[in-house]
Structure 1
Amino acid sequence: MRDFGQLNTLGALILPHIAFSLPFAIWMLRGFVKGVPEALEEAALFSFISAWNDFLFAKSFIISDTSQSTLPMALLVFYKPDDPDWGGVMAGATVMTIPVLIFFVLVQRRLVSGLGGAVKD
C-alpha cells in the first residue's frame, strides 16, 4: 500500500477485504445459488422489476406533491442536475433499507423454511 500511496486511506482497508473475502464468499455461495430453481429466480426478477417500476409510475403519473411521494421519489430531493448530492442520495438509500433489513431479520426463519416448498418440480 505504501508503494501505491494508499497508507492511511480507506482504500488500504477495502482492497485487502475484497481480495481475501470475495473469493471465499463466492465459493461458499456458489452451491446455494446453483440450487435455486429457475422459476424462483424469475419470480424474484419480476418482483424486483415491480419494485423498480414503483419509482417510474410515481414519477410518470402522479406525484408532484412531496407528501404523497414514494421513498425512491424522495431521493430526488438530493439529486440536482447541476450539483447532485451523492452523499445524501447514498445516505437516503441506506436509511431506506433499514426497515427491509429489520423485516428480514424478523421473518428470516419462516422465509428460509418456506423456500423449500416455493417451487415444486
Structure 2
Amino acid sequence: MNRAALLSSAAAVLFLAACGSNDQPDNSPAGLKKAAQEAVFADQAAHGDPDDFTDLAPKDIAPEGHQVCDMLDQGQSVDDAATKLRLGFSTKATGALIGAAPALCPQHRDAVDAWIASLV
C-alpha cells in the first residue's frame, strides 16, 4: 500500500475520532496518535494478508500488534512473538502482523526487518 493511502486512512481515523461517538473516543493528542498508528497497522496487516485482514477495523486487529510490541519491549525475540501468534493465525497472517508491528512500535523496526530478511 502506498504512503498516500496509509496517510489518508490515518487522517480518516483522526477525523472520525474527533467527531465523537457513543464510545467516547480519546481525543487527546496521545489518543489520536494511537488511533492513527492503529489505522496504519491495520492497513499494513491487510496489505500483507488481504484474505484475513482487509475487512477488520483497526480496533479489532490492533491488540495483536500491541501484543507483539509488548513482547519485544520485554526483551523477547521476534521469533518468540511469531511463535505466539502462530497459535491463533496462519503463517501468512503471522507474517503480516509481525511485518506491520513497527507501525505501533517503530523502535523495533530494525529487529522486525532483520527477522523478515532472515526468512528469504
Into which bin does the TM-score normalised by the smaller protein fall? under 0.3
Q: Which of the two has higher C-alpha Rg? A: 1
Superposition TM-score, scaled by structure 2 size: 0.25
Superposition TM-score, scaled by structure 1 size: 0.25
Give the structure, 1 or 2, with the largest relative contact order (CA under 8 Å, sep 6 or more): 2
